[in-house]
Chain A
Amino acid sequence: MSEEAHGTSNYIKIWAILVVLLVLSVLGPMLGIQAVTLITAFGIAVVKAYMVAKKFMHISEAPKFITYLMVTCLVFMLLFVAGSAPDVFKSEGDNWKKTASWQYMPPEADHGAENH
């Protein structure tokens, strides 16, 4: 029983820390300094995600291989982002157009370019 009560108080403590971090992550970007914005928005988000996973999702109490599995998934996610970033980021959806070949096409052909 006492163990259970201890567990609950721990949850509340973690929750309180998360609320404080949330306030910081909202206030930080208001300063308008780029470095501070990045740290408070994304840095704190990472810390919060770590705390939620560790305490609320019980990764800390689960067998070690669960941690490895989670890390593996994270690695695969980064791999996916890295592999697709050159096509998807900054392309504004235009990569599917073969612009390099347009010079060989008759000038009056419509390639849908007027949409941009």
Chain B
Amino acid sequence: MAESIPSDATPAHDDHHHEEPSFASKYIFSTDHKMIAMQYMFTGMAMALIGGFMAYVFRMQLAFPGIDVPGYGLVTPANYNSLVTNHGTIMIFWVAMPVLIAAFGNFLIPLMCGCDDMVFPRINRLSYQIFLLSAIVLLGSFFVQGGGFGGAWTAYPPLSAKAEYSLTPLGSSIWLIAVALEFVAFLLGGINFVTTAMNARAPGMKLYDIPMVVWMIVIASILFMVSVGPLIAGAIMLLFDQVLGTAFYDPDRGGDPILWQHLFWFFGHPEVYVVLLPAVGITAEIITVFSRKKLFAYKTVLHTAIGTGVLSFTVWAHHQFIAGIDPRMAHVFTLTTLLISIPIAEMMFVYIATLYGGSIRLTTPMLWALAFIGEFLIGGVTGIFLGASGSDIYLHDTYFVLAHFHYTFYPIAIIGTMAGVTFWFPKMFGRHMNENLGKIHFWGSIIPFNFIFIPLFVLGLGGQHRRVFDYTNFPDLSLPWMQEFRVIATVALLVMLGFQILFLYNFFQSIFKGRKAERNPWNSNTLEWTTESPPPHGNWPELPTVYRGPYEYSVPGRDKDYWPQNEPV
């Protein structure tokens, strides 16, 4: 198979120049996977700050309607729509995807598979450049006439298709273009992840010796590739409806708005698993290291991940139960949706079984990993209520849905990312983060998180609809207890955002002044810990050979409780 790789596959650093590289070759045109990973991570972090700021602005408006929001000013209805739309878009496409898949994928796949770089380093570079362009295009949409797109991140037509409905003639088209560019970037990245993990592994590394996080990123990349086609086709039709006056989604002229919902969710539901699986993989790495135990049922986790991926293509219409889909199909999609909870629950049980009887060390990454399991379970269980079409009729489009998906996406995008960043930080920057500050930040994020979204579950059950700018216009929805709950959620959000400043301080202070990290500070088995911290260009002076699987912890009869993959018997 190796001979079928085109010439682009030659390692980028064949010609070892040892003079200091220029700024452009080090940052703008670098093909080093670690540099690209860092660029994805820092771009994702910057976008997370923007997305978090948007959440702050619209939560302030909801808790204290009509307030002059400090740092933003008065929120108009159009601003509000634009803020919620772009908060969702940014947090999913410009935070969760670049950090969990692109940053961790780029950093970990070559290091964990024991190769010197991605197989297509230049495509990798192109992927980041297009991603950066997409972020700039999206942010640019706020400064055009009419402001940023305000038709919700799902962009349902006819609202999104006609400027007279959305009131954002340019913003909606620019939003579509930015999303399309972002997808191009991730398709290019995904090709690299799959090819590198399948073709460029260290000698001796068999398929079942691949660390779980690499498998998860590979499966996620394949899911993304297979699901994104319909959405790109749909997005082009929507763009045509917006700018050329076609009527694919216009019911007055024979189009069908439900078609967009099918095209969007055929991508949109697998997308949940695209970001979930890397977070699940990161958790697997961390809980094995910090419970000093072998991953319970490696093959089961792998096979359930593949099973989840396949099933995720059969559940999309559970987002559309009351959109007017055929009721017979609602039965089918209820069934498949309830089925998909089985493999996910199985993974969670495997993780709990891994923890059982281990010598658990509650380091900061481990706390995050445990929180991922606990919080994601709440997200998963509340999904059952929404997946069953009968109860969804009542709960659809309420804050119950919103709280449910924040209980899935927050564990994925924030908890999973924090787990990964705190775990691999010594390898990324060669220094340790401050453990105490890390733990304070952990509790300061997790407790307010629950205080934000548990009240929103209750409000949702009380009938509070989503996407309402000011509830004082609705007497049923502005009862005193409801307004109090909104204030609790907003205050909790402010507390949570405040603790992120502590994280940023810890992160940047540790990069420059943290305690120096040795090669393998956590006594871990996987290959990335066998090279220097941070790894040099090319990763290893001599590429490693693999002798065993990645999770041989506490093997009886050995003095050390870990057994690196590259250590000969």
Contact surface of A with B, Cβ cutoff 8 Å: 62-63, 72-73, 76, 79-80, 83-84, 86-88, 91-98, 115
Digit string of B248-283 for contact with A (CB within 8 Å is 1, else 0)?
001110111111001000100000000000000000
- Complex contact B317–A83 (CB within 8 A): yes
Do A96 and B251 contact each other (CB < 8 Å), given the known contacts A63-B1, A88-B262? yes
Q: Is the CB of A83 within 8 A of B323?
A: no
Kindly state whether residue B316 has any CB partner on chain A within 8 Å: yes
Considering the chains assembled together, what is the distance between the CA atoms of A63 and B317 in angstroms?
35
B326 within 8 A of A: yes
Report yes or no: A76 in contact with B257, Cβ–Cβ below 8 A: no
With A63-B1, A86-B326, A115-B252: A76-B262 Cβ-Cβ less than 8 Å: no
User: Which listed residue, A73, A83, A97, A98, touches B262 by the CB 8 Å rule?
Assistant: A83
With both chains docked as a complex, state the minimum distance between the C-beta of A94 and any C-beta of chain B, in angstroms: 7
Q: Which of B227, B258, B332 contacts A88 (CB 8 A)?
A: B258
Task: Indicate whether B363 reaches chain A with its CB closer than 8 angstroms.
Answer: no
- Report Cα–Cα, A5/B313, bound state, in Å: 44
**Residues of chain B lying within 8 A (CB to CB) of residue A87:** 256, 258-259, 262, 324-326, 329
| Alpha-carbon distance A60/B251, docked complex (angstroms) | 44
Enumerate chain B interface residues (CB-CB to A < 8 A): 1, 4, 226-227, 229-230, 250-252, 254-259, 262, 266, 313-314, 316-317, 323-326, 328-329, 332-333
Q: How far is the CA of A72 from the CA of B333 in the complex (A)?
A: 20
A63 in contact with B258 (CB, 8 Å): no
Which residue of the partner chain, among B4, B254, B324, B329, contacts A96 with CB atoms under 8 Å?
A: B324
B257 near A93 (CB under 8 angstroms)?
yes
Query: Once the chains are docked, how many angstroms separate the CA of A73 from the CA of B228?
Result: 11
Chain A residues within an 8 Å CB radius of B252: 115
Nearest CB in chain A: distance from B378 CB, A: 29
Q: Which residues of A contact B325 (CB under 8 A)?
A: 86-87, 95
Contact (Cβ within 8 A) A86 B328: yes
Kindly list chain A residues whose C-beta atoms are within 8 Å of the C-beta of B332.
83
Q: Out of A92, A94, A96, which one reaches B323, CB within 8 Å? A: A96
Q: Which residue of A lies closest to B336 (CB)?
A: A83
Question: Chain A residues near B256 (CB, 8 Å)?
Answer: 87-88, 91-93, 95
Q: Are A97 and B324 in contact (CB under 8 A)?
A: yes
Chain B contact residues: helix, strand, loop or mixed = helix
- Minimum distance in angstroms from A13 CB to a CB of chain B: 25
- With A83-B317, A94-B251 already in contact, 13 other A-B pairs whose C-beta atoms are closer than 8 Å: A76-B313, A80-B230, A83-B329, A86-B326, A86-B329, A87-B259, A87-B324, A92-B254, A93-B254, A93-B257, A95-B326, A96-B324, A115-B252
- A93 partner, pick from B230, B255, B262, beta carbons under 8 A: B255
Q: How far is the CB of B486 from chain A (nearest CB, A)?
A: 30
Output the nearest chain A residue to B325 by Cβ-Cβ distance: A87
Q: A96: which B residues are within 8 A, CB to CB?
A: 251, 257-258, 323-324
Residues of B within 8 A of A98 (CB): 324
- Take A87-B326, A88-B262 as given contacts and tell me if A79 and B314 are in contact as well, using a CB distance cutoff of 8 Å: yes
> B317 to chain A: which residues have CB within 8 Å?
83-84
Structural contact, B313 and A73, CB atoms closer than 8 A = no
Establish whether residues B259 and A88, one from each chain, have CB atoms under 8 Å apart when the complex forms.
Answer: yes
Give the shortest distance, in Å, between A100 (CB) and chain B (any CB): 10
Q: What 9 A-B pairs come out closest when comparing CB atoms?
A: A86-B326, A84-B262, A93-B251, A93-B256, A95-B324, A96-B324, A87-B325, A87-B258, A88-B259
Residues on the A chain within 8 Å of B258, using CB: 84, 87-88, 91, 93, 95-96
On whether the beta carbons of B259 and A76 are closer than 8 Å, the reply is no
Q: What CA separation (Å) do A93 and B259 show in the bound complex? A: 9
Q: Which residues of A contact B262 (CB under 8 A)?
A: 80, 83-84, 87-88
- Distance in Å from the Cβ of B336 to the closest Cβ of chain A? 10
How many angstroms from the CA of A72 to the CA of B259 in the assembled complex? 22
User: B314 contacts which chain A residues (CB < 8 A)?
Assistant: 79, 83
Q: Distance in Å from the Cβ of A107 to the closest Cβ of chain B?
A: 22
- Contact between chains at A83 and B316 (CB < 8 Å): yes
Which A residues lie within 8 Å of B323 (CB)? 96
Chain B neighbourhood of A62, CB < 8 A = 4
Contacts of A88 in B (CB 8 A): 256, 258-259, 262
Complex CA distance for A97 and B252, rounded to whole angstroms: 12
Closest Cβ of chain A to B252, distance in Å, is 5
Q: Please indicate the chain B residues that have their CB under 8 angstroms from the CB of A84 in the complex.
A: 258-259, 262, 266, 317
Q: Which residue of A63, A72, A91, A93 is within 8 Å of B4 (Cβ)?
A: A63
**In whole angstroms, what is the CA distance A97 to B314 when docked?**
25
Cα of A96 to Cα of B255 in the assembled complex, Å:
11
Contacting residues, chain B, for A95 (C-beta < 8 A): 256, 258, 324-326
- Please report the C-alpha to C-alpha distance between residue A47 and residue B503 in the assembled complex, in whole angstroms: 60
Task: Say which residue of A80, A86, A93 sits within 8 Å of B266 (CB atoms).
Answer: A80
State in angstroms the CA–CA spacing of A73 and B326 once bound together. Answer: 25
Q: In the bound complex, how far is the Cα of B400 from the Cα of A51, in angstroms?
A: 51
Q: What are 11 A-B interface contacts by the 8 Å CB criterion?
A: A73-B229, A86-B326, A86-B329, A87-B326, A92-B254, A93-B255, A95-B256, A95-B258, A95-B324, A95-B325, A96-B323
Select from chain A the residue with minimum beta-carbon distance to B327: A86
| Set of chain A residues within 8 Å of B226, measured between Cβ atoms | 72-73, 76
In the complex, what residues of B have CB within 8 A of residue A86's CB?
325-326, 328-329
Nearest-Cβ distance from residue A88 to partner chain B, whole angstroms: 5
Residue of B nearest to A84 (CB): B262
